[in-house]
Amino acid sequence: MSAWKDNQEIEFFREYLRIPSVHPDIDYEPCVEFLKRQAIDLGLPIEVFYCAGPTKPVVVITWVGQRPDLPTIILNSHMDVVPVFPEKWTYPPFSAHMDDQGRIYARGSQDMKCVGMQYLAAIRALRKNGVTLKRTIHMTFVPDEEVGGNEGMRVFVKSKEFKKLNVGFSLDEGIASPDETFPVYYAERSIWHVKFILTGTAGHGSLLLENTVGEKFLKFFNKVMEFRQHEVQRLESDTSLTIGDVTTINLTCLNGGVQSNVVPPTLEAVLDIRLALSINHDAFAQQLSQWCEEAGGGIKIEYKQKQPKVEATKIDNFNPFWTAFKQASTELGLKIKTLVFPGGTDSRYIRQAGIPAIGFSPMNHTPVLLHDHDEFLQADVYLKGIEYYKKIIPAVTNV
């Protein structure tokens, strides 16, 4: 344990973890000040942009390459973390407690303050070793990824500040792996959050009224569950598929009613839908409308979120950045597995801008604990990740 405690990079990591940049009310300025100190230590320039207002900073630390005219590389991470339930944790969730086995307990230890700090650690080592790189690197630290990135990467990508970066390729977060493999994500499903407002006959709860919202909801929801079960069966019957390859659909909110003996005139239901890459968005929207009509009509559809189809990053020999990433992984002896990300990350905004992006968090033999109680990362795993980035970053930067 003393070797871990004496390691400067471990201490930098734990210092970052102790900043409670947690939703819903985040003050990002402590993160900004910490990153300014990191930039000074690295001897690199830092800029802070406020594209979405004074409380939403985007931090950019830049290492200028030998060919600054070439498209640049982004090493992206987000500063925010999801809420915690402290009573469910063995140690305080922002203490960055490290036990005798080197397990560092903190919210953000896996998702994803680890990756942002591993970028910095790898670049610190490369610069100390006198390494020079062809392309310019921008290490970006963005806000609000955990709440959809609407005031983070989504706004930043559309800004003049981002366009000046001349980005050609991006690395961002992945997910830990409990086995020897390293998941590498080249695409994401499209997220739709859809509210259905059902209207029907209202009246006394003792009657058998026609066209009530309860009847309509049952008919509609049976259609939803039939589709959902079809996707469950696809996933179970084809071992080559993972959760990111199918469309998921779940009821997440159900609201309505005023009193136990009154049949309500309205009922609201919200579905969380993640559309597989193979789904035609227009056809699926028509399918939702058809289900509403088949349930009896009188159902209004509101899209709370309706992400467009975003092209996957090419993972073939026509993408030189992917070729370089894959070659470096092979030389490191990493067993990578290419997947479609099951959730959503800031990479979707990067890809939507036409920039190839790969999601990769170098954490194998690690339980998947993002958003969970007692989230931790083992110190040895963290340090190995730095070594991997010391190989991967120059590989993609020198394309």
Domain chopping of the chain, boundaries: 2-173+361-397, 190-306
| Active-site residue, selected from the candidate residues 80, 146, 173, 245 | 80
**CATH architecture assignment, domain 190-306:** 2-Layer Sandwich (3.30)
In angstroms, rounded to a whole number, what is the distance separating the alpha carbons of residues 225 and 122? 47
pTM: 0.94
Instruction: Name the CATH topology of 2-173+361-397.
Output: Aminopeptidase (3.40.630)
What is residue 4's predicted lDDT score, i.e. its pLDDT?
Answer: 80
69 is known as an active-site residue: no
* Gyration radius of the chain over CA positions: 24
75 forms bridges with which residues in the sheet?
Answer: 139, 171
Please list, in sequence order, all residues whose beta carbon lies within 8 angstroms of the beta carbon of residue 186, skipping any fewer than 6 positions away: 312, 313, 314, 315, 322, 338, 339, 340, 358, 359
What is residue 1's predicted lDDT score, i.e. its pLDDT?
Answer: 54
pLDDT band at 2 (very low <50, low <70, confident <90, very high): low
Query: 3 pLDDT exceeds 80?
Result: no
pLDDT over 70, % of the chain: 99
Please list, in sequence order, all residues whose beta carbon lies within 8 angstroms of the beta carbon of residue 379, skipping any fewer than 6 positions away: 4, 7, 10, 98, 102, 103, 104
| Active-site residue, selected from the candidate residues 145, 188, 245, 346 | 145
pLDDT over 90, % of the chain: 98
- Mean pLDDT across 302-322: 96
3-state secondary structure of 190: strand
Task: Copy the structure tokens of residue 168.
Answer: 């050609």
pLDDT tens-digit readout, 167-221:
999 999 999 999 999 999 999 999 999 999 999 999 999 999 999 999 999 999 9
pLDDT tens-digit readout, 261-270:
999 999 999 9
Query: 6 pLDDT exceeds 90?
Result: no
Q: Secondary structure of 91-154 in the HEC alphabet? A: CCCCCCEECCCCEEECCCCCCCHHHHHHHHHHHHHHHHCCCCCCCCEEEEEECCHHHCCCCCHH
What is residue 279's predicted lDDT score, i.e. its pLDDT?
Answer: 97
359 forms bridges with which residues in the sheet?
Answer: 172, 185
316 is known as an active-site residue: no
Identical fold, 2-173+361-397 and 190-306 = no
